[in-house]
Structure 1
Amino acid sequence: MPGPMIAYCGPAAVPSDLWARWNTDPVVITALAMLALYMARGRSANARAGWGAIALMLFIFVSPLCALSSALFSARVLHHMLLVAGVAPLLARAFPQRHTNPLPLAVLVAVHAVILWLWHAPGPYTWGLASVPAYWLMQLSMLGSAWLMWRAILAPSLPTGPALLALATTIGQMGLLGAIIVFARQPLYLVHLTSTAAWGLSPVADQQLAGLLMWVPAMLPYLGVGLWLAWSSLRPSESAL
């Protein structure tokens, strides 16, 4: 049975056509090319991070992952986790916070959590895939809120304690959301109801895989940054001994 039509990424991919399903949307390609030109002119604070963000966005939006995310909720969650835990911190390093943020870090963490939970609730999730504007509202709100949060966390002026607390809070709320998805006993994301079978998965198994991705692997970037911040905070005191 053919899978559903997703407004932006198109029909759900099946194994036989996955590697032919590259996204050639000229708007996305132009936007990434303009960002690359901006990077090439030396406008970023960390060129390596900026180019890494561009490469990751090419994988998320241009590669066949886009079509696969029309078929599988687990692929969509992978897409989202790469966006908020990969692209966002890389952009935060490339374009860091220059001035004091008018919003407290706690507010940024809370706003990002609300946006993440909102777009993974079944109703808003389905609506977010129903039209191109809704799709980009989903993508840009998750990326924008994550970028603002990561910029604040990585700001040199921020003490290590609040940064670690923000990372731990984000790990906790993402883990809770992932656990809820893992232990759901019935299909929640009906837009993928008919497309999982082609990949040898039931809708519930697809959800469980998605929840596990959000619960465990997605925490690794936050944990890694937390350990790096903690280690960096200890180095001056070590040199003073």
Structure 2
Amino acid sequence: MVQSWLPYCGAAPLPGEWLARWNGDPLLLCLFGGAALWGWRRADLSPPFWWGFASIVLLFVSPLCALSSALFSARVAHHVLLTAVAAPLVAWGLRPVALAARRAATAAAVHILAFWFWHAPQPYAAALSNDAIYWLMQITLFGSALGFWMALRRAPTPLALGLLLVMTAQMGLLGALITFAGDPLYAPHYATTQPWGLRPIEDQQLAGLIMWVPAAGFYLAAALGMAWRLVSPRAART
């Protein structure tokens, strides 16, 4: 028996229709509106928070949401943008929180576990067959990423630099494992990639490369920037 998949973002779109597939979920739009109102009434949020918030809205409302139903590579890009772009922007826009140094390492470990867990085949398939599990996936990915980036702000520079390098390495490792897997691993995309000119294994390899290079590159760039501030007194003062 072949299972039919109906992800939160809807059935997998065809190439000629996906740009029209905006997500108009009333509940989601109300939640975003409430979050925007909450943020607007606060005086301690800096512009990066709003850039991050806008990124989150686009990730879940734009046609990328629907495209991620068709392609695992689009789903991976969605998760990378959520955790390595939107989360640090939101974290840098919030008031810094004083945390013990060990909390930064714990936050990194939690985020790594969440990222690896949800990109394992069985949890991933469950998330694409149940809306509650889908949102559990998104919330834990974003929440753990936000915790990591916020903890990084208060961590000693050598520790923060080391954790960013660990994040770079683990993202590259996960990407390599997915890229070089000999068989398609993600059942929800067995029958959704062909209209896009990709076999499931090719879509999976593209997803692995996205993790391996651009995703790891975000953390490596942050590590290099932090290393520059560490070795350059002038840059540190700036």
What is the TM-score with the length of structure 1 in the denominator? 0.91
In the alignment, the residues of structure 2 paired with residue 150 and residue 123 of structure 1 have an alpha-carbon distance, to the nearest angstrom, of 28
> Could you say which residue in structure 2 is the equivalent of 1:170?
167
Note the alpha carbon deviations across 1:210-232, whole angstroms, 9 max, x for none. Answer: 00000000122212222222222
Matches within 5 A, 1:62-211: 62-101=61-100, 104-155=103-154, 158-211=155-208
CA distance in 1, matches of 2:29, 2:232: 42
Q: 1:96 to 1:146 in 2, by over 3 A?
A: farther
**Cα shift readout 1:62-95 (whole Å, capped 9, x = no counterpart):** 0000110000000000000011101110111112
CA distance, structure 2, for counterparts of residue 20 and residue 150 of structure 1 = 34
Distance 1:211-1:28 versus aligned 2 partners, 3 A rule: same
What is the letter of the counterpart of residue 92 of structure 2?
A: R
Q: How big is the shift at 1:33?
A: 1.9
Q: Which runs of 5+ in 2 are unaligned?
A: none
The equivalent residue for 1:30 is: 30
How far, CA to CA, are the matches of 1:239 and 1:215 in structure 2? 30
State the 1:128 CA deviation.
1.2
Please give the per-residue CA displacement for 1:136-171, whole angstroms capped at 9, x wherever unaligned: 00000010011001101122xx21100011101111
Gaps of 5+ in 1: none
Paired residue type of 2:195: A
Say whether the 8 Å CA contact 2:97–2:150 is kept in structure 1: no
**Residues 231 and 120 (structure 1), Cα distance of their counterparts in 2 relative to 1, 3 Å cut:** same
**C-alpha separation between the residues in 1 aligned to 2:37 and 2:53?**
11
| Counterpart Cα distance in 2 of 1:73 and 1:196 | 9
Distance in 1 (CA, whole Å) between partners of 2:18 and 2:79 is 19
> What's the offset of the Cα at 1:5?
3.6
Question: What is the identity, as a one-letter code, of the residue corresponding to 2:205?
Answer: Q
The percentage of counterpart residues that share the same residue type is 45
- The CA distance in 1 between the partners of 2:164 and 2:235, in whole Å, is 24
Partner amino acid for 1:65?
L
CA distance in 2, matches of 1:86, 1:177: 19
| Aligned partners of 1:179 and 1:212 also within 8 Å | yes
Question: How many aligned residue pairs are there?
Answer: 235
Flag as ranges the 4+ runs of structure 1 deviating above 4 A: 237-240
CA distance in structure 2 between the aligned counterparts of 1:11 and 1:143, rounded to whole angstroms: 24
Verify the 8 A CA contact 1:4 1:12 in the aligned structure 2. no
Secondary structure of the 2:134 match is helix
Aligned to 2:226: 229
- Could you say which residue in structure 2 is the equivalent of 1:19? 19
Match of 1:218 in 2: 215
In structure 2, the CA distance between the partners of 1:184 and 1:24, relative to structure 1 (3 Å rule), is same
Task: Quote the offset at 1:96 in angstroms.
Answer: 4.0
- Tell whether the 8 Å contact from 2:228 to 2:235 is kept in structure 1 after alignment: no
Paired residues of 2:50 and 2:90 also in contact (CA < 8 A): no
Q: Residues 161 and 114 (structure 1 numbering): CA distance in 2 closer, same or farther, change over 3 Å?
A: same
